[in-house]
Structure 1
Amino acid sequence: MPQPTKFYPRLKGRSAIVTGAGTQGDGIGTGRAIAMLLAGEGAHVALVDRDRESAEETRRRIDAAGGQAFTLAGDVTVDADCRHFVEQAVAHTGRLDILVNNVGISDPVALDAADESGWTRVIDVNLKSAMLMIRHAVPAMKAAGGGSIVNISSIAGMRAHGSIAYGPSKAAMAQLAAEIAVLHGRYGIRVNTVAPGHIMTPHAMHVLPEGLRTLRRAIAPLGIEGDAWDIARAVAFLASDDARFITGVLLPVDGGVTRIGPIAAHFLAEAELAADAGTEGLNQ
């Protein structure tokens, strides 16, 4: 999907924080796409990332498109840093309306390859960071009269993918969002979760062999992969007043993968791969 060129000012005057807002290299990952789209729709975006230069590249792209953004470097697993991010967002704009907990890492597949420190690191980056950011964001959103929080989870938190820490951490992110939605809805704070499916990001392009990409497309009911802009559009919708009556939901953005049964997926893949001239790549 090409980068959006037409924007709707649904978020004009809003203040937003996006964690993991950078992307390594020149590509557009999920965090960068979310930040760029929120800015394109009028939000003033705080770009949070451990790698300041990566966040600066996102800011340069937003500036070039006429949007507003600034960068904040730090560690979302550290409470003091999370407090600082929220304080700086409020200092720049006078309020906080939107928080997107996008940052995340994966873990080794095999149980015997996952030591305790590695497991803890995944839980801390994916889940603890969201809790810390939400804890500091909620008072600022209450002061602003409400707000929208969006956690970026994964379909790995909905269906088992053989991960020891990643899947459980992503499942917990969705439950965390539901709990906060119930606890703080009376303050006008909506909390939702987006679960990306087979999304083609610069990282995925680097680590996935073409044969696996072909298989991912084959088992998807839509027959395509998603990209970072698909996730960004879902986030922008949930962050806007268009979703004013939506809270506590888990929204898969996955081309229908979580709705198809294993037998149907098998036959879909078998039929498509048999007709695909590039299926030799699966056996390489």
Structure 2
Amino acid sequence: MTTRLQGRTAVVVGGGQTPGAAMGNGRAAALTYARAGARVLVVDRDEKSAEETVLLVREIGGTATAHRADITIEEDCAALAQTALEIFGQIDVLHNNVGIVASGRTEDLSSANWRRGFEVNLTGMWMTCKYVLPHMRARGRGAIVNISSMAGLLAGGETIAYTTSKSAVHAMTRSLALEYAPHGVRVNAVAPGMMDTPMGVDSVARSTGARRDDVAAQRASLVPMGHQGTGQDVADAALFLASDESAFITGVVLPVDGGFTLKTGTH
């Protein structure tokens, strides 16, 4: 345990985990914030998964409470902010981790899948910010960390809905950072690359019928550093952006990708 977030409250949206062999970004973030001394509200659409994360937090001596919310429902976004305030009295960190991959060529992608990708990846994130920001503005402090993807920095031929929505997350992050900087609120994003997480590896293996080890090896071969990252790598970057160590940093999109985007000249 450290004291980097001692006495603070972190709301981790998407703090549960889908089934997988490795730890996901949201659960890793909840545990990392707790180790740094924060009290954590673990928010997830799957309440059982959120409760499992809470148990893990308590096992390491941290404080956490589970809360069920669907971020595509505006009332749920308002309620999660209110719940955090009722339980902990303050919100110092908002960590937005929810995302889905909407795949398909432009000509084949349904309008429903396009809308769903933006609803989850962008609109839900905007709505959680909408209901937390008034509290942060009133206190004159706060940090928001949006978990995006390196896909938002790259062109994607058959993932147009995903890449476009993640690019929009970057634009929203910068816009919020500029709007709320005078109020002492910082807004940054982390853009993970090839990560060994349930969403990154297990979901691909399930959808393609490939062996998990083969999927992991193929992804690792694309990374200049020679291996995939982990949910902990993302959580460590998020902790830096949430803590006072980054007190003069706002509007940044930080790739955590082992050098992947350097190959494209985009970084």
Query: TM-score under structure 1 normalisation?
Result: 0.86
Instruction: Could you tell me which runs of 5 or more consecutive residues in structure 2 were left unpaired when the two chains were aligned.
Output: none
State whether residues 97 and 144 of structure 1, in contact with CA within 8 Å, keep that contact through their aligned partners in structure 2: no
Higher CA-based Rg: 1
Percentage of identical aligned residues:
41
Q: Take 2:44 and 2:262, find their aligned partners in 1: how far apart are those partners?
A: 33
State whether residues 96 and 144 of structure 1, in contact with CA within 8 Å, keep that contact through their aligned partners in structure 2: no
Q: Name the aligned partner's letter for residue 241 of structure 1.
A: D
Q: Quote how far apart the aligned CAs of 1:78 are.
A: 1.2
- 1:142 maps to which of 137, 145, 150: 137
Q: Tell me, what secondary structure is at the counterpart of 2:174?
A: helix
Please list the CA deviations of residues 18-55 of structure 1 after superposition, one character each: whole Å capped at 9, or x if unmatched. Answer: 11110124752111001110111111111111100000
Give matches, 1:1-284, under 5 Å. 7-25=1-19, 27-162=22-157, 163-206=159-202, 207-208=204-205, 209=210, 210-261=213-264
Relative contact order, CA 8 A, sep 6+: which one is greater?
2
Q: Take 1:125 and 1:118, find their aligned partners in 2: how far apart are those partners?
A: 11
Instruction: Could you tell me which runs of 5 or more consecutive residues in structure 1 were left unpaired when the two chains were aligned.
Output: 1-6, 263-284
Q: Quote how far apart the aligned CAs of 1:113 are.
A: 3.0
- Structure 1 window deviating more from structure 2 (38-47 vs 213-222): it is 213-222
Q: Name the aligned partner's letter for residue 27 of structure 2.
A: R
Q: Name the aligned partner's letter for residue 19 of structure 1.
A: V
State whether residues 98 and 121 of structure 2, in contact with CA within 8 Å, keep that contact through their aligned partners in structure 1: yes
Q: Name the aligned partner's letter for residue 15 of structure 1.
A: T
Q: Take 1:103 and 1:37, find their aligned partners in 2: how far apart are those partners?
A: 17
Q: Take 1:222 and 1:241, find their aligned partners in 2: how far apart are those partners?
A: 29
State whether residues 23 and 230 of structure 2, in contact with CA within 8 Å, keep that contact through their aligned partners in structure 1: no
Q: Quote how far apart the aligned CAs of 1:212 are.
A: 4.3
Q: Name the aligned partner's letter for residue 17 of structure 2.
A: T
Q: Take 2:92 and 2:232, find their aligned partners in 1: how far apart are those partners?
A: 21
- 1:267 is matched with none
Aligned length: 256
- Structure 1 window deviating more from structure 2 (56-65 vs 197-206): it is 197-206
State whether residues 105 and 160 of structure 2, in contact with CA within 8 Å, keep that contact through their aligned partners in structure 1: yes
Q: Quote how far apart the aligned CAs of 1:77 are.
A: 1.2
Q: Take 1:197 and 1:204, find their aligned partners in 2: how far apart are those partners?
A: 9
